[in-house]
Amino acid sequence: MLKFIPLRAQAGITGFESPAAEHTQLGLDLDQLLIDHPSATWLGYAEGASMVGDGIHSGDLLIISRAETVQNDDIIVANLNGCFVCKRVDTTARLLLSSAPGARPYQLQDGDEFQVEGVVIRSIRLHRPLSRGL
């Protein structure tokens, strides 16, 4: 698990050491910070550019929680006809919305296989590739 020091970045131009320095602790980890319900949370990679308007780019890591209740306008992952898709959801009009410029909404039909597979609670941009491989 990744450890980091919960300190604000400092320019360090004063001659004094931060009075908080001796109180910093190791031990806050990203799992605890980002994930509220570990047993209901799963990870996936975004593939494609349809959600760039929401800041989700191809190759981003998505953290998806099944514990959340879907609310109107949430970004979700759904099983749409046998495929995991990432969309913004309009629960009243039963629309799946993409956020790329010019993308058209998808109207859910009665014959569609559709199940919500969780709410995207975080998305992570991998500015450098993960060293443990992708």
Min CB(16)–another protein separation in Å? 31
Using CB under 8 A as the binding rule, whether residue 108 contacts another protein is answered as no
For residue 3, the cross-strand partners are: 29
- Which 53-92 positions form the footprint of another protein (CB under 8 A)? 56, 58, 61-62, 66-67, 77, 79, 82-86
Please give the Cα distance from 134 to 131 (Å, whole number).
Answer: 8
Please give the Cα distance from 89 to 72 (Å, whole number).
Answer: 6
- Which 28-57 positions form the footprint of another protein (CB under 8 A)? 32, 37-40, 42-51, 56
Min CB(98)–another protein separation in Å? 5
Q: Which two tokens stand for residue 42?
A: 């799963």
Q: Which residues are marked as active site? A: 50, 87
Min CB(73)–another protein separation in Å? 17
DSSP state of 34: H
Please give the Cα distance from 30 to 33 (Å, whole number).
Answer: 5
Please give the Cα distance from 34 to 40 (Å, whole number).
Answer: 13
Q: Which two tokens stand for residue 112?
A: 């569609």
**Interacting residues with another protein (CB under 8 A):** 1, 27, 32, 37-40, 42-51, 56, 58, 61-62, 66-67, 77, 79, 82-86, 98, 100, 102-104, 113, 115, 117, 130, 132-134
